[in-house]
């Protein structure tokens, strides 16, 4: 992701808001570190969880296909804009235990705010490996594709 020092690493010892990093790396969890707009511009990035507690995030712009396991909060919501032809996949399979600085159970999107689909083939994909209730707190606006699957296939 493009903006440096707006994401904070979660250390193996479970220290939340640890070292600022340039952006999430594959298979890692992160705490949103400020009131910024972040652009997901790395193709195929998989983020296990995003924590938006303690900040008022301006937004997450999806300009490359991105997968997120969970988005959790202490009350703040992360608005997301998905560019035409790109997708945000909520896969819910990569939960984070509390010993990583915050607790992000599978299929938890309580920190996900309004979603804007910007144009043709902008896609929100929700995949759950268990038939569980998934609640989205925000509105979905614009034109695009919404796909929901409750199996691992």
| Digit-coded pLDDT (tens) for 112-152 | 999 999 988 999 998 876 666 777 888 899 888 888 887 65
| Residue from 58, 64, 46 nearest 30 by CA | 46
Question: Helix (H, G, I), strand (E, B), or coil: what is residue 98?
Answer: helix
| CB distance 122 to 40 below 8 Å | no
| CB distance 115 to 139 below 8 Å | yes
pLDDT at 9 over 80: no
CA distances from 146 to 87, 117, 123, 133, 137 (A): 10, 9, 6, 16, 16
Span 9-24, mean pLDDT? 50
pLDDT at 14 over 50: no
- Identify which of 6-10, 44-48, 147-151 has the greatest average pLDDT: 44-48
């Amino acid at each position: 992701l493009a903006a440096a020092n707006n994401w904070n690493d979660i250390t193996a010892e479970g220290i939340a808001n640890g070292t600022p990093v340039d952006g999430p790396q594959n298979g890692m969890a992160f705490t949103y570190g400020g009131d910024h707009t972040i652009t997901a511009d790395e193709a195929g990035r998989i983020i296990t969880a995003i924590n938006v507690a303690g900040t008022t995030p301006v937004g997450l712009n999806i300009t490359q296909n991105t997968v997120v396991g969970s988005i959790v909060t202490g009350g703040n919501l992360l608005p997301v804009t998905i560019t035409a032809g790109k997708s945000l996949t909520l896969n819910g399979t990569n939960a984070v235990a509390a010993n990583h600085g915050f607790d992000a159970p599978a299929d938890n999107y309580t920190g996900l705010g309004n979603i804007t689909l910007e144009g043709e083939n902008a896609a929100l994909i929700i995949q759950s490996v268990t038939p569980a209730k998934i609640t989205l707190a925000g509105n979905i606006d614009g034109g695009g594709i919404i796909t929901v699957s409750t199996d691992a296939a």
